[in-house]
C-alpha cells in the first residue's frame, strides 16, 4: 500500500515537473518567435531646411511629413540604443522607427529639434567633436539643450576623417586615438560617455569595426540602407539616408514598412573593394520566408545590375549580384529587394568602398 502511495506521489511530481518544463519551453519558443518577428527601420539625416546642400538636406515640410507619418501610423520612435535593446529583449514585437542625425549641424538645433519636440519624439545625434561650435555646427550649450530634450548623443570621431585613406600600418591606431579623443571631449564637456558610434561617411573595414568593439561601444551605425533585425551585425547597423532626392513622403512611408532580407551567408564580408576588381561579385544566401524569388531585383548606383539565382529551396535561396559596369565612385551600393507572398517588400544593401578614389 505504501509503495502504491509513493508511486502515485512520484507520478504526480513527475507530471508537474514535465508540465513546468513544457511551459518553460513554450515560453522560450514564444520569446524566440517575438525576437524573430521584431525589426525596425533607422533613418539618417544631416541638415534641415538648408537648401545650400541638397545632398545632405531635407526640407522642413518633408521632415514634418515624416514625423507625422510615424505618429499617425502607430510607430514607437526610439533612440538607436533603446531600439537595439528592444530588439534583443523579451518584449513583444511592435512598430518601431529610429531617427538619427549625423555631424551636429546647427540646422538640427534651430529647425530639426523643435519639430521633434512638437511631436514628442526622440532621436540619436552623432557628433564629431572637432567642429563643435564652428560656424555651421551646434555649440556645447545647444548640445546640452538637446540632451535635456531627450536626444541621445553618439560618438562620430573627433576629426571626421577619411580613415580608409590612411595606410593600414597606421590606420587603426589613428582611428582609435581619434575616437578616444572624441570620447574624452564629450565626457569632459557634457558629462556623458556615449555607448554608440557612427562611422564617418559610413566608411569602415572589418578591423575598424573591431576597434570600435574593443573600445567598448555597444553598437555602431553604418550608412548602407536596410532594415534592422536580430541577425543584424550590431557594429554595422544600416540606415536609410534622407536627402532632398530621397525624402519624398511616399518613399519614406514605403521604407518605414520595409522588412529585412535575412542573410544566412555572404561572400565577401568586407566593404573595401577588392584590389583590381572593378565589378565585384556579391554572393548571398537568404532565408526564404515565402519570398517571391522570381521578382528578385537588384540595383547598383550609377549603372545596371546582374542578378542570378544559384540555388533555391523552401528554406533558403542563394544568389549572386554583380554590377554591369565598372564601379567608378568612391562608395557604391548593391541593393537587393524582393516581395513575399503577403506583398510586403524585403530590402538589403551592401556597400563597396573604393578608397583609391579621393573625395
Model pLDDT for residues 210-251, shown as the tens digit of each residue: 999 999 999 999 999 999 999 999 999 999 999 999 999 999
The domains found in the chain, sorted by start residue, are 32-260 (3.20.20.370), 265-353 (2.60.40)
Q: Which residue has the cell 580608409?
A: 164
Q: What is the mean pLDDT of residues 302-312?
A: 94
The pTM of this model reads: 0.89
Q: Mean per-residue pLDDT for 48-61?
A: 97
Q: Are 203 and 185 in contact (CB under 8 A)?
A: no
> Which three cell numbers, joined as nine digits, stand for 101?
542625425
Which residues does 186 contact at the CB level (< 8 Å), separation at least 6? 127, 129, 153, 155, 192, 193, 194
Average pLDDT over residues 42-51: 98
Which residue has cell 597606421? 170
pLDDT at 199 over 50: yes
184 pLDDT band, cuts 50/70/90, is very high
Instruction: Read off the pLDDT of residues 163-173 as tens digits, 9 standing for 90 and up.
Output: 999 999 999 99
pLDDT category at 37 given cuts 50, 70, 90 is confident
Q: How far is CA 6 from the centre of its chain?
A: 59
Closest CA to 237 of 120, 115, 102: 102
- For residue 256, pLDDT over 80 is answered with yes
Does the pLDDT at position 15 exceed 80? no
Residues facing residue 345 across a β-bridge: 339
CA dist 286 and 340 (Å) reads 13
> Percent of the chain beyond pLDDT 90?
85
C-beta atoms surrounding 9 within 10 Å: 10
User: What's the Cα-to-Cα distance from 176 to each of 132, 157, 172, 181, 185, rounded to whole Å?
Assistant: 20, 9, 6, 9, 14
What pLDDT sits at residue 36? 64
Which helix (H) or strand (E) is 66 found in, with range?
A: helix 60-72
> Mind listing the pLDDT tens digit for each residue in 71-102?
999 999 999 999 999 999 999 999 999 999 99
Q: What is the DSSP letter of 299?
A: E
Secondary structure of residue 130 in the 3-state scheme: helix
Amino acid at each position: 500500500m505504501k509503495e502504491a502511495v509513493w508511486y502515485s506521489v512520484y507520478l504526480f511530481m513527475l507530471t508537474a515537473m514535465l508540465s513546468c518544463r513544457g511551459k518553460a519551453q513554450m515560453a522560450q519558443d514564444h520569446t524566440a518567435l517575438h525576437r524573430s518577428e521584431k525589426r525596425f527601420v533607422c533613418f539618417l539625416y544631416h541638415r534641415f531646411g538648408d537648401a545650400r546642400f541638397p545632398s545632405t538636406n531635407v526640407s522642413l515640410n518633408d521632415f514634418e511629413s515624416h514625423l507625422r507619418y510615424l505618429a499617425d501610423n502607430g510607430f514607437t520612435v526610439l533612440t538607436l540604443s533603446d531600439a537595439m535593446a528592444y530588439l534583443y529583449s523579451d518584449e513583444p514585437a511592435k512598430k518601431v522607427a529610429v531617427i538619427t542625425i549625423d555631424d551636429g549641424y546647427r540646422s538640427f538645433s534651430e529647425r530639426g529639434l523643435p519639430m521633434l519636440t512638437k511631436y514628442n519624439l526622440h532621436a540619436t545625434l552623432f557628433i564629431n567633436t572637432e567642429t563643435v561650435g564652428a560656424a555651421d555646427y551646434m555649440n556645447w550649450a545647444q548640445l546640452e539643450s538637446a540632451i535635456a530634450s531627450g536626444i541621445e548623443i553618439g560618438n562620430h570621431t573627433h576629426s571626421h576623417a577619411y580613415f580608409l585613406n590612411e595606410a593600414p600600418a597606421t590606420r587603426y591606431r589613428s582611428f582609435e586615438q581619434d575616437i578616444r579623443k572624441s570620447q574624452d571631449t564629450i565626457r569632459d564637456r557634457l558629462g556623458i560617455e556615449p555607448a554608440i558610434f557612427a562611422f564617418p561617411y559610413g566608411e569602415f573595414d572589418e578591423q575598424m569595426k573591431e576597434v570600435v568593439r574593443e573600445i567598448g561601444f555597444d553598437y555602431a551605425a553604418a550608412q548602407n540602407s536596410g532594415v534592422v533585425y536580430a541577425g543584424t551585425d550590431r557594429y554595422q547597423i544600416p540606415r536609410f539616408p534622407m536627402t532632398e532626392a530621397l525624402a519624398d513622403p511616399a518613399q519614406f512611408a514605403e521604407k518605414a514598412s520595409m522588412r529585412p532580407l535575412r542573410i544566412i551567408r555572404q561572400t565577401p564580408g568586407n566593404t573595401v573593394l577588392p584590389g583590381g576588381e572593378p565589378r565585384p561579385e556579391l554572393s548571398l544566401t537568404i532565408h526564404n520566408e515565402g519570398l517571391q524569388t522570381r521578382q528578385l531585383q537588384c540595383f547598383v548606383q550609377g549603372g545596371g545590375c546582374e542578378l542570378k539565382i544559384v540555388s533555391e529551396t523552401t528554406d533558403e535561396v542563394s544568389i549572386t549580384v554583380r554590377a554591369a559596369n565598372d564601379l567608378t565612385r568612391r562608395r557604391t551600393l548593391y541593393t537587393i529587394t524582393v516581395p513575399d507572398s503577403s506583398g510586403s517588400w524585403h530590402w538589403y544593401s551592401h556597400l563597396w568602398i573604393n578608397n583609391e578614389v579621393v573625395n
